[in-house]
Amino acid sequence: MDSRLQTYVVEDNPTIRENLIGTLEELTCTTVVGFAETEQHARDWLHDHADEWHLAIVDLFLKQGSGLGILQACQSRKPGQKVVVLSNYATPDIRRRCAEFGVDAVFDKSNEIDALVDFCIRQAAALRSAPGDA
């Protein structure tokens, strides 16, 4: 079993996405298994690959659609799967809305990347220590 955190990224800015993927794969036990730039593409992939991811990192403002629609679609995820939001708009209202969708954490792109990295490290460690399939 692969002990790396299988992560799906929803981010429409190529520079941010590439930097995020590089950072996560370098600093954490993470493998990015795919990405999307639109709500529909992300919803389709997450549904069609329901057993192939442990973590979804979702931006709220996308080229088409909204990250909120993705969060809604992820409400029926498996118990071990985590969904976090990475946004420039991590306001108290956005954090409250995300909590209503059962999001595991919300991180601000401008000043909480280290906290996201720490979250990924903790999730990868939990995955490695979990008995059986995570």
Q: What does each C-alpha distance from 24 to 66, 86, 111, 115, 120 come to in angstroms? A: 23, 13, 16, 12, 8
Q: What is the pLDDT of residues 70-115, one digit of tens each?
A: 999 999 999 899 999 999 999 999 999 999 999 999 999 999 999 9
pTM: 0.94
The pLDDT of residue 134 is above 50: no
Residue with tokens 């990295």: 117
d(CA 113, CA 101): 22
What totals of helices (H) and strands (E) does the chain contain, helices first? 5, 5
Using pLDDT thresholds of 50, 70 and 90, give the confidence band for residue 3.
confident
The pLDDT of residue 130 is above 90: no
SS3 at position 60: coil
- Note the pLDDT of residue 129: 86
Q: Is beta strand 30-36 parallel, antiparallel or unpaired with respect to 82-87?
A: unpaired
Length of the chain: 134
d(CA 80, CA 64): 28
